[in-house]
Structures are given as C-alpha cells and as structure tokens.
Copies of this chain bind each other. A is one copy, B any other.
C-alpha cells in the first residue's frame, strides 16, 4: 500500500504520515525500489490509533508514550491512566479559561445595545484601567485558541 492509500485508510494525511515518520513517532517504512513508502495493514492500524489519540487532543509527545505503552504487553494500566488523567486535567483547565472568557464577553454583549450609536460597554470595559487584573491568570503552558487539524 502506498502512502496515499494508507492516508485514506487511516484518516491521517500523507503529509502528517511523513511528518510522524520524520519525528520518530512511527518507524521508517520499507520503500519500493523507486523510493515509495510501503504500508501494511498493521501500519494503518497504528496510524488509526494515532489519529484517535490526536482527536482526543493528546500532544504528539503523549501519543508517542501511548503508542509505546500500547505495544508493550507488560505495561501497567496505571501508566496509561496517568497520561489520560493528566490530559483531562489540562483540558478542564482550558475549558474553564474559555468559559470565563465567554461568560465575561456574553455579559458585556448583553449590556451593549448593538445599534448605530457609539456607546458600548464592551469597549468601555476593555478601556477600563482598573479592570482585568483580578481574574484567572492565563494558563502558563497553553494558549487561547490554537491552529488546527482542519480535517
């Protein structure tokens, strides 16, 4: 199977398959004489695993750990669980951050007439020199809205 078929079958783009190979997340494949990468059903299975982990928001680094645990028949399930729960913690922190933003904005927008007049509480709040200090300090590791999968 060529890379395009593997991409089709796994839901991981050919670009990303090459990228995952380049960073060592997946091993280098066999090549044809012409240099084409060749994939087996087993490879596709691994790629699907990766795709699903990615869909759950795991970082590539975490996915690497998950893949190696997956392939380790001696693994301890607590190691897997630890990765999952750590990720849940991160997700929940992020959710809280976004919820805070959304609720602040919703509140401000509710008080904005939204007509042709210039008066606007949203701008007033943004311009308010006293505001914006007290609430949640932004997450040290992860940002607001990231660029994305776009599949």
Q: Residues of B contacting A52 with CB < 8 Å?
A: 125-126, 128, 131-132
| Known A56-B104, A76-B117: A146·B142 in contact at CB below 8 Å | yes
Q: Determine the distance from Cα of A18 to Cα of B64 in the docked complex, in whole angstroms.
A: 37
Copies of the polypeptide in the assembly: 2
A138 and B148: CB pair below 8 A? yes
Within A54-96, the residues touching B (CB, 8 Å) are: 54-57, 59, 66, 69-70, 72-78, 80-82, 84-85, 87-88, 90-92, 94-95
Q: 18 A-B contacts, Cβ less than 8 Å apart?
A: A48-B127, A48-B129, A52-B126, A56-B101, A56-B105, A69-B120, A77-B114, A77-B116, A77-B120, A81-B120, A84-B109, A88-B105, A94-B145, A95-B95, A98-B98, A140-B150, A143-B148, A144-B146
